[in-house]
Amino acid sequence: MKMKTSWIIILCLCSTFMVRAQTNEQSIIEQMKPMPEFTSLLFGEVKPTGWLKEQMQADVKGFIGNLKYLIPDLIDDPIYSSERLHRGSKLKDLGNNKEGDAEGEEQYKWWNSESQSNWWDGYLRNVLLLDDRQHIAEVKAYIERILETQDSDGYLGIYTPELRYQFKGENGELWAKSTLYRGLLGYYEATGEKKVWDALVRAVDNVMQNYPIYKSHPFDTGKEYNGGVAHGLTFTDVLDRMYELTGNRKYLEYAAFLYMDYSHFFSWEQDAQLTNVLNKNYKLKCHAVHTYEHLRSLIVAASMLEDKQVKQALADYLQKIADVVTPTGGAIGDEWIAERLADATHTGYEYCSLHELMDSYSVLFQKTGLTKYAELAENIFYNAAQGARHPYHSCIAYLKTDNSYEMMGTRNGDNEPDRKQTRYKYSPVHQDVAVCCVPNAGRITPYFLQKAWMQQGKNTLVANFLAPCVLDTKLDGKNIRIENETDYPMENHFNFHLNLQESMRMVLKIRKPSWATSVWCSETYKLEGDYIIIERNFKSKDSFSLSFNTNVRTCKDLKGETYFAYGAQFFAYPIKAKEFQGRVYAKGFSDYLYEPLENTRFQYIDDHQATFHHGKIHVRLLNVHTGKKEYVDLVPLQETILRQAAF
């Protein structure tokens, strides 16, 4: 259903995204328990349809499915098997220029474990969701190879016995396990293969035996660079999921132990340490990906510990993060936050950061039921993340800004003395920097989809992220299939098609976005908080339709600049550009850089009613160079390369 009405501009009152005031947020966080508000479904029970499925298929044919062929030395490195790291291991040539990296060459020894495991995690999740038989065969072979590397005591990792669990400095022990085990968990959930689960249980037990709870200190690694050690705090991701799958609290207890141990010792990446989070004067400054991924570890600790300080820290950390995120969800990540506030032009965001913050928000939402964070996660996915993908080449931007005036390697042409910045370009690999963002670009959609639907209680299914997808699950022991047929977020109309094992009474809850001014539904429904609730006896084949009405709205960022939005999408003025081809990895896989062909800048003057028509916002803006007002068309971020998004 196309919205053809012209709408009056309304003001968005939130610095990150228009969300309802939730005065009970603090109290909800204070009352967090191990049992989450919503039950996360098994990976594979929510699959893509429509445009999202087409995008994933294109990615598998493109950079996601071909990364291993573009950088075989990194992806095929037997770092988990025949070439585990030992005392005499030499630094490997990763093909990166190391400009802008933190000091500490030891990190380059474990880098390949991150690159390949995050890539496999995203790749296997994509092909399993797409039921791509050819690629699934490759995934099965990979799983078999990995399981064969497990030692008799359960160890599954990258170090030989002389090093493992005995570190005095930088290492990737827990980090290499986190990236690997997350992928294994996804594969197990989608396939149910018991041998994979058994291997995971033994591997996690091996960690807990060698780093015994409250009797060891995994994060006591001296006072030099230890970024890999800090990355290892994400082992809480694995533990949290193991708890959800088993109900065994030992996993959550160990996760809380890891967070408190991390908080006690020196860390190069210290933003999420308890003392710093509780310090009202402390400003986020560290490597952004650590900052956002560690939010999940704090969430898990807060859910497990009956500690008012930890729960207060979570509330405080969320506010600190809000100050470094643009309205599109663009969280500072270029590469360090450096005590800055989010800025449309002068702070960039890393694709890794987008994935990590989106995933962290989704975990917080699942555990608390605070719909604000479902909306913030959805905002990142549909705006900053889609806007950092190339519209037609198979590649992504390592770093991107909301106001993207140039993509020639540096941030909008800034001169950075003594630093060879190349991150502001599009690439299917980004090997000259680090092969981290491309693998995470492969992870973001499957992780988003897994939490699109959740369960609450015995007979309630909850649609949290609005997306074209199909749910296949069981409710009260009965098979249920629900397809959400939609072009969202390009349009705000949804057709829900139900195919049930038998007629049954159940409750469907659908999140109503904060920007929706009214609701149309073919069903009788009630509105409770931020949810549309439909409760009735559904036939074995049933359907209903739903639409959200909305207005063109403006949103002020922290610097007072104006953004335009309609529905879930933010819009920008597309800047004409000249394309340059950079490094060629293989036929059809190249780096791309962009130089502007115009120097037009606009300013918003609040004297005109903007209209939305045929997917564009039509508005009158002041041309800063000519001093004249002009009518311009703004398009969704995902359709742009160079752009102005803040006016």
- Same structural domain, 309 and 376: yes
CATH at residue 505: 2.60.40.1180
Task: Give the pLDDT confidence of 103-150 residue by residue, as tens digits.
Answer: 667 889 999 999 999 999 999 999 999 999 999 999 999 999 999 999
User: To the nearest whole percent, how much of the chain has pLDDT over 70?
Assistant: 95
- Same structural domain, 441 and 470: no
User: To the nearest whole percent, how much of the chain has pLDDT over 90?
Assistant: 91
Q: Identify whether the C-beta of residue 592 lies closer than 8 Å to the C-beta of residue 582.
A: yes
- Same structural domain, 174 and 64: yes
- Same structural domain, 545 and 613: no
User: Is residue 95, in this structure, part of any structural domain at all?
Assistant: no
CA distances (Å), origin 570, targets 7, 372, 413, 567: 16, 17, 24, 8
- Same structural domain, 462 and 599: no
Instruction: Name the more confident of 94 and 433.
Output: 433
Given a cut of 60, whether residue 205 has pLDDT beyond it is: yes
Q: Which two tokens stand for residue 367?
A: 């555990």
- Same structural domain, 391 and 369: yes
- Same structural domain, 24 and 137: no
Q: Which two tokens stand for residue 305?
A: 């510990």
User: Is residue 352, in this structure, part of any structural domain at all?
Assistant: yes
User: Is residue 99, in this structure, part of any structural domain at all?
Assistant: no
Q: What angle do CA 107, 108, 111 make, to 5 degrees?
A: 90
Task: Give the helix ranges, DSSP H, for 95-132.
Answer: 107-130
Q: What is the amino acid identity at position 371?
A: T
Q: Which two tokens stand for residue 520?
A: 């149309």
Task: Give the pLDDT confidence of 534-573 residue by residue, as tens digits.
Answer: 999 999 999 999 999 999 999 999 999 999 999 999 999 9
**Which residues are CB-neighbours of 159 under 8 A, at least 6 positions away?**
84, 85, 86, 171, 173
- Same structural domain, 318 and 367: yes
Given a cut of 90, whether residue 22 has pLDDT beyond it is: no
Task: Give the pLDDT confidence of 50-107 residue by residue, as tens digits.
Answer: 999 999 999 999 999 999 999 999 999 999 999 999 999 988 878 776 555 556 678 8
pLDDT at 90: 87
- pTM of structure: 0.95
User: Is residue 88, in this structure, part of any structural domain at all?
Assistant: no
Task: Give the pLDDT confidence of 479-513 residue by residue, as tens digits.
Answer: 999 999 999 999 999 999 999 999 999 999 999 99
Residue range 416-421: average pLDDT?
70
The bridge status of strand 552-556 relative to strand 10-12 is: parallel
User: Is residue 89, in this structure, part of any structural domain at all?
Assistant: no
Q: Identify whether the C-beta of residue 37 lies closer than 8 Å to the C-beta of residue 460.
A: no
Task: Give the pLDDT confidence of 157-170 residue by residue, as tens digits.
Answer: 999 999 999 999 99
Q: Identify whether the C-beta of residue 12 lies closer than 8 Å to the C-beta of residue 556.
A: yes
User: Is residue 328, in this structure, part of any structural domain at all?
Assistant: yes
pLDDT at 1: 31
Lowest mean pLDDT among 21-25, 333-337, 434-438, 444-448: 21-25
What gap in Å lies between CA 230 and CA 251, rounded to an integer?
Answer: 19
What gap in Å lies between CA 578 and CA 591, rounded to an integer?
Answer: 14
User: Is residue 278, in this structure, part of any structural domain at all?
Assistant: no
- Same structural domain, 446 and 563: yes
Range of the domain at 561: 1-31+285-292+299-451+550-647
Task: Give the pLDDT confidence of 263-284 residue by residue, as tens digits.
Answer: 999 999 999 999 999 999 999 9
- Same structural domain, 476 and 599: no
User: Is residue 365, in this structure, part of any structural domain at all?
Assistant: yes
The string of DSSP codes covering 146-193 is HHHT--TT---SSB-TTTTT--SS---HHHHHHHHHHHHHHHHHHH--
CA distances (Å), origin 26, targets 323, 358, 360, 456, 625: 18, 21, 18, 22, 47
Reference 464, options 593, 374, 377, 586; nearest CA is 374
Reference 39, options 376, 496, 446, 458; nearest CA is 458
Tell me the sheet residues that pair with 571.
Answer: 564, 636
- Same structural domain, 319 and 444: yes
What gap in Å lies between CA 575 and CA 640, rounded to an integer?
Answer: 8
Question: What total number of domains does the chain contain?
Answer: 3
- Same structural domain, 444 and 499: no
